[in-house]
Chains A and B, each alone.
Chain A
Amino acid sequence: MPESRNGMSTVGAVLVVGAGISGMQSALDLAEAGFRVHLVDEAWAIGGTMAQLDKTFPTNDCAMCILSPKLVEAGRHLNIQLHPGTVLERLEGEPGRFRAILRRKARYVDVDKCTACGDCLAPCPVELPNPFDGNLGVRKAIYKLYPQAIPNAFAIEKRGVSPCRKACPAGVNAHAYVALLRSGRIKEAWQVIMRTLPFPSVCGRVCTHPCEEECFRGQVDRPVAIRDLKRAIADWMAEHPDQMELEPCQERLKGRVAVVGAGPAGLTAAYQLARRGVSVTVFEALPVLGGMMRVGIPAFRLPREVLDREIRFILSLGIEVRLNSALGRDFTLDELFEDGYQSIIVATGAHVSQRAGLPGEELEGVFHGVDFLRSVNLGRSPRLGGRVAVIGGGNTALDAARTALRLGAESVCVYYRRSRAEMPASDEEVEQARAEGVQFSFLCSPVALVGRNGRVTQLRLVRNRLAEPDASGRRRPVPVEGSEYHVDVDAVILAIGQRPSSEALRQAGLAVDGRGLVVSGPDGRTSREGVYAGGDVTTGPATVVEAVAAGNRVAAAVAAVLRGEVGEQGMGGPNEERRVAPFPADVVPVPRERARPRELPPGVRRTNFDEVVGGLSLEEAVAEAERCLNCGGCSECLQCVPACRPAAIDHHQEDQLEEIEVGAVILSAGFELFDARLKGEYGFGRYPNVITSMQFERMLSASGPWEGHVRRPSDGRPPRRIAFIQCVGSRDLRGGYRHCSGVCCMYTAKEAIIAKEHVPGLEVTVFCMDVRAYGKEFERYYQRAQEEYGVRYVRSMVASVKEIPDSRNLLLRYSTEDGQLREEEFDLVVLAVGIRPSSAGVETARRLGVQTDEDGLLRTRELEPGLTSRPGVFVAGALAGPKDIPETVTEASAVAALAAAQLAEARGQLAREPRYPPERSVEGEPPRVGVFVCHCGINIAGTVDVEAVVEHARGLPDVVWAEDLLFTCSQDSIALIKERVGEHQLNRVVVASCTPRTHEPLFQNTIREAGLNPHLFEMTNIREQSSWVHRELPERATDKACDLVSMAVAKARLLRPVPARHFEVDPRALVIGGGLAGMTASLCLAAQGFEVYLVERERELGGMARRVKYTVGGDDPSGLVDRLIGEVLGNPRIRVYLNHQVEETAGYVGNYVTVLRGGDDSRRTEIRHGAVIIATGAREATTDQYLYGRHPRVVTQLELEEMLASGKLAGCRVVMIQCVGSRTPQRPYCSRICCAEAVKNAVRIRERYPASSVVIFYRDIRTYGLLEEHYRRARERGVLFIRYDPEQPPEVRPDGDQLLVCGRDPATGWSLEMEADLLVLSPGVEPQDGTIQLSRLFKLPLTEDGFFAEAHMKLRPVDFAADGVYLCGLAHGPKLMQESITQARAAAMRAAVLLGKGRLEARGIVAYVRERACSGCGLCVKSCPYDARQIDPESKKARVTEVLCQGCGACVVACPNGASQQAGFSKEQILAMVEAALR
């Protein structure tokens, strides 16, 4: 291990936090350069926001198409370890050797086992809004982030315990059974209930439903009717007894347990133990089972047959019952132990009525609540008489009152000592009692019962008032002196409480407290070994569900003992330690009435004991279940567990901490979108037809919620008039972000164009301030949007959006540029929301001690992009400021270069080499072709009949296997192809999917991993070249796809393996251009250990940067340039050639020979190198407009800057004109930097010369991204900005020594005329002289504007299409200094990846010679443009120098004998394709 300066060894690994396009690029560059990379992301898959995008501007490339190969590459790279669902918690140590502590979130799915088959989806009953689709669509609680996700595996979304479930004492999973009911799976719902509650019918009727009190739906309108849903499930099951089958119990226990008491607690305990195989006997003192459920609760609340049914089911598990067996009377605990019971559960309840201690309590006609109910319920109805008084306020009192009515009492009145509000009875029961005619008298207490002839006749009471709250929290009743009164009665029922029969318990040897309750621990353990107690006997009177909870707890404790576990069982409720889910913020609930079960009419019900409340029908119940908000995310119904055949699901996973060692850290967590709800005036979240740009993007995407159909959310109709509102949350000091988000103008142009392609006749209007089309090719795109697609741009900010009730259209109110108020109607409004650094990323940065600014940005010093405040920690992408994809990718490569330079000594230390299986020889084998046809989701399958293509392929000669795949490029499909190669002994593979230009390497690698030579692969493009271009003609598109497959197979049959050949890479680089970019790139390469030749045609280094006197942020570039010059000249690895130019160059990637000419003696120098970086810059454009060159007071911005630097400003009335020559038909691009330049100079003038005035005529102020703050500063300093239209540019006239500038103010419509001492023009940026020559020398393409054209606008921004040549600085296009620095580092990194490799594999398409047929005529030698051919002097046959051969095939045509051939494109192969095409 290499030692670093401080004696500690450097770790050759880098941690990249954030796996969007930025993180992936950094990771791939570093991994390719020989470092180990840990790629961490909070999400369950890599890809970031780009994966959500439909298209990319300005090329309209499909985002997923260009991203997907990168996903796969990052996912399968040997030196990249993915850490999905992971956050960086802490970072210790120092640069070069950090210790990173990672927290991996519980995924609940084992990524290694998951095959992404999706079998878990169907059983999952929970649908949640899909944030990937901007919450427009739904996804299941178990989900894959998106179809192409890497890693290709599911995850489960758990947000915490649902409040209903947490509230249930018995831990009944209400969320799960409601969700299952909603999806129509009643049996499964019942099974979920039966996990913890064997009395669903009972509790579905009499439960006090604490779940409903906590239900978050109650915050929207009213709680979900959870209890009624439980009843609906249980009653449906009762009607379908054949379905009554418990889930198989995992555990089998042995043992004998006695349960004393057959109430809800005892029976629950018996049930739970019997399910686990325990032999259980239940002893019951009464002649009936059910305890208080039977003798306490009247039949009109709980019909006897319902109770019987449920008890019958419990007993059917094999539980033995002994009725009329009371503890202490008929048996003792000792006897039970003697009989061989290992454990005894005492659950005898609280059946003894509390005495009131009133005078006359012994009179005839005085009853006690539970005794009274027990008598009635056991069929012994006492005589009551006409007037009945009930004392008490609990459910027992009300049950007694309502029972009394049904027994024939004429009037029943309940007397309660406090007020209605304090009454403990449930509201429903109070209401039902009232409806039946029960009267209530509050705030009175009985003082005596008076009788005549031994029978009660009068109840004496005293009135109360309420004092301060007592220990129970309820206000204490205090008798009011002198308020005694009496009522005449025939019977009095005292229902003031009950307690256990403590005598028997004490005799049984159990410790009993002062209230007569058995003393027990949390798990039910009593003072006697082996004896457990639970239910009312330990707590006093409570609810059925609490008794059930106790039964569960005690059973669990006993089960633990039977299992042989020792010690105290921490038997908290099942959810006690788990966090309650927060209110689901992503749900927009539509208020909906709660279901109401039917009730018998009160007049009818007081005449009998029939059940008062009816149940919901199944349909009503399902509809009610739909009101559930799925607060917890996953409901833990566990239906996915048995559905998953690979057994990948583990609901018990927990977060895990992991520690890794890395040398450097890159933060690239990206951005998040502005929350449009914060801009209430636009109505987002209230009006369904106001959506965000991300929602619209998903709507446009073929893989989006509506498969690419543009619809109004309110009614699904295609919109006719769409309005885009720009700068929602951007450039906004009132609640939004202050900066410009940099990308919205362009993504809006893109979405507008794509939408117009989707919906014929669509009208699109964009409301905006400035249109910031400042990037390469952006201005053309913006022009196309207007001219070709007819997108209308209105310069105005919209004041408000109002919905028109009937049509749900939207009325936009805005003021035009000249101040008129307008209203316009649209049927869909898209809010172009701004971006800000991801809050998770900012939090991570702060945890690491990295400084962030008040906006959360990891802002870097202006000329030190990529460096954070903590050494060894770098930042890339939108965390440091808003940027588009190419800028992000460039930055990602640039910080990779910084990290690679820092860890240069450890390069290769931890890297692993790819290992392929030995290549299988297919020599002599007949062709065995496998064909794989891709659906590409619906991209292909939506038009082409993929199954028909497969069927067609099956009939082709030598095809032994054909099948269709949803996404052939996904990880599981790749694995499957490899499997098929082995399974069917395939020796040729054909994939029919998208373009081979992006995907061929992936599939070639796939078959290589399957042991085949990569050249035994052929790909055909049925997407870009069939399904996408023949959408209206599906049948003919299918025919074409069949033909294309025939052609590919015809060629594949003739493919031959091409042996791998390698050639060396010269590790030196040539950098052309000694300006800021060239010097930065050179130093960056040198820091990574590579030697550099730096060529500059001027006599000194520095280039354009020398003319920049200060940056827009106020930094001094000259210091930087001087420092760079010093470093370059002093660096032993950099050889500088000043006053030199490239004269000629030859060679190819890894092996160039370039001739330089220069110096004072025009010397010729030949250098050898492996890579080239083009950094030749650009120049300020020339102009002759506005008197430039003809009037001394007309200057350019650069000239002004020089004046300002030297302190010689010629006059203080300054007028500036922007876009001089830019954005014109002659020079249609935007020069990007002029606005910032003008703002910079304007601010400086105003600050230096307070008497000055500055007026800027502009078309759009394009101070993109963080530059916005300088624009704002300019306005604050009094700089006057006047917009002009290109049709009406300002006019300039000489006025003697002065100038006269005339223009029109669009805000007022007035013509302006102003005198100026100085007119400053922004003529823009032009390609450097010599660009065309250089492009010819190195065969490099130029854009229409004459700048160098990179390989790919989005994902290869600093590469050229030709390998080995890279691009940076203004040669690529206009840009600011910091952007040039970043790009230079990126180019250096890309070159370093190549140079560090040592050797490259030769391309597989080189020419070869069939010597037998060669006549040695030499025609091929003449035709080869690369000098790759000679005639061998010995054999007189042609020969190929393979490293020089570029595979153009010119020699193949030239050869008259067919001796000259090209691997992969031989004549017989092409001819076979021609034949197949026409068959």
Chain B
Amino acid sequence: MDWVAVEREEGQSPGDFEPRIVALLCNWCSYTGADLAGTSRIQYPPNIRVIRVMCSGSVDPMYILKAILEGADGVLIGGCHAGDCHYINGNYKARRRVAIARRVLDQLGLDGRRVWFRFISASEGRLFAETVREMVAQLKEIGPNPMRDRWEL
């Protein structure tokens, strides 16, 4: 939180800060939902970089930690809705792992709220766009990932 304070002192309002978000989306639901946002031309902030994985259950917590350590302001993991997983239950595994990763981040003083898990189906283009919008807004509140500047130190 100190770092946010520093930036504020330097005259940077939180509104100027554009958070960087890495997303890991499952091929069958969330990635397709993100595509649908595109085909429906639903506009959302361009702060997100999507990595397509076959299943949210294949998201290693290491990916999340790596992203945060590399300076990502947020990480979004998207999977199919409860019961819809193309691979039976990968989405549940992912949800559990994300919960753990958040706790680990909190322990490291890196604010677990930076990591989101969402069920987004292939037909929920609008939900995907709204999720990105909300996440960007919340991350602007939280402020930049302090890791970015710590590396520079």
Contacts and interface: CB of A to CB of B under 8 A. Distances in A.
- A and B bound? yes
Interface in B88-104: 88-90, 93, 97
Interface stretch (A861-869, A1031-1039, A1091-1099, A1281-1289): A1031-1039
A1474 B46 CA distance: 17
Interface string B6-25: 00000000000000101010
A628 interface: no
5 contacts: A1446-B87, A1448-B57, A1449-B57, A1453-B57, A1453-B97
A1024 B38 contact: yes
Interface stretch (B29-37, B110-118, B134-142): B29-37
Nearest to A1034: B46
Contacts of A1446: 87
A983 B90 CA distance: 43
B58 A1452 contact: yes
Interface in A969-1012: 995-997
Contacts of A954: none
A1254 interface: no
Contacts of A1024: 34-39
Nearest to A1336: B83
B123 to A, nearest CB: 8
A1043 B72 CA distance: 13
Contacts of B43: 1029-1032
Given A61-B39, A1470-B51, A1477-B72, A1339 B66 contact: no
A1028 interface: yes
A1021 interface: yes
A1030 B46 contact: yes
Contacts of A1032: 43
Interface string A1413-1429: 00000000001010000
A1453 B105 CA distance: 18
Contacts of B52: 996
Nearest to B41: A1028
B3 interface: no
A1044 interface: yes
A1478 B60 contact: no
Given A1024-B38, A1448-B58, 5 more contacts: A1029-B43, A1036-B46, A1040-B49, A1465-B53, A1477-B67
Interface in A1446-1469: 1446-1450, 1452-1453, 1462, 1465, 1467
Contact of A997 (B24, B31, B45, B59): B31
B39 A65 contact: yes
Interface in B117-137: 129
A1071 to B, nearest CB: 24
Given A1024-B38, A1470-B51, A1474-B67, A1029 B129 contact: yes
B112 to A, nearest CB: 18
A1465 B54 contact: yes
Contacts of B93: 1423, 1450, 1453
A1477 B22 contact: yes
Interface in A861-899: none
B49 A1450 contact: no
Contacts of A1467: 60, 62
Given A1452-B58, A1453-B57, A1475-B70, A1425 B63 contact: no
A1471 B70 CA distance: 10
Nearest to A996: B52
Contacts, number: 138
A1448 B55 CA distance: 5
B87 A1425 contact: yes
A1470 B41 CA distance: 28
B42 A1029 contact: yes
Interface of B: 20, 22, 24, 27-28, 31-32, 34-46, 49-55, 57-63, 66-67, 70-72, 84, 86-90, 93, 97, 129
Contacts of A1028: 38-39, 41
B46 A1462 contact: no
B48 to A, nearest CB: 8
B51 A1474 contact: yes
A1032 B35 CA distance: 18
A1448 B90 contact: yes
Given A997-B27, A1478-B72, A1449 B53 contact: yes
A85 B51 CA distance: 44
B58 A1450 contact: yes
Contact of A1044 (B49, B62, B71, B88): B49
A1473 interface: yes
A1311 to B, nearest CB: 43
Nearest to A1447: B54
- The secondary-structure label for the interface of chain B is mixed
A757 interface: yes
Most buried by A among B36, B46, B50: B46
Contact of B35 (A995, A1341, A1448): A995
A1314 interface: no
A1033 B47 CA distance: 11
A191 to B, nearest CB: 50
Contacts of B86: 1339, 1361-1362, 1448
A498 to B, nearest CB: 78
A62 interface: yes
Nearest to A1471: B66
A1047 interface: yes
A1029 B44 contact: yes
Nearest to A1467: B60
B58 A1477 contact: no
A1432 B28 CA distance: 32
Contacts of B32: 997
A614 B11 CA distance: 77
A1452 B60 contact: yes
Contact of A1453 (B28, B35, B37, B60): B60
Contacts of B90: 1425, 1448-1450
Given A997-B27, A1448-B54, A1478-B22, A1453 B70 contact: no
B89 A1425 contact: yes
B67 to A, nearest CB: 5
Contact of A1465 (B49, B58, B66): B58
B81 to A, nearest CB: 10
A62 B39 contact: yes
Contacts of B53: 1449, 1465, 1470
Contacts of B24: 1470
Given A997-B35, A1471-B63, A1474-B66, A1450 B50 contact: no
Given A1028-B41, A1474-B51, A1021 B35 contact: yes
Contacts of B45: 1030
Contacts of A1425: 87-90
Contacts of A1109: none
A962 interface: no
A1361 B30 CA distance: 15
A60 interface: yes
A516 B45 CA distance: 92
State the 5 A-B residue pairs at the shortest beta-carbon distance, nearest first: A1449-B58, A1024-B38, A1448-B87, A1028-B38, A1477-B49
Contact of A1449 (B31, B40, B54, B66): B54
Contacts of A1477: 20, 22, 49, 51, 67, 72
A1313 B87 CA distance: 58
Contacts of A1193: none
A1040 B72 CA distance: 14
Most buried by A among B32, B51, B57, B63: B51
A928 interface: no
A1024 B71 CA distance: 26
A1447 B61 CA distance: 18
A617 interface: no
Nearest to B59: A1453
Contacts of A1039: 46
A1473 B70 CA distance: 11
B106 to A, nearest CB: 21
B62 A1471 contact: yes
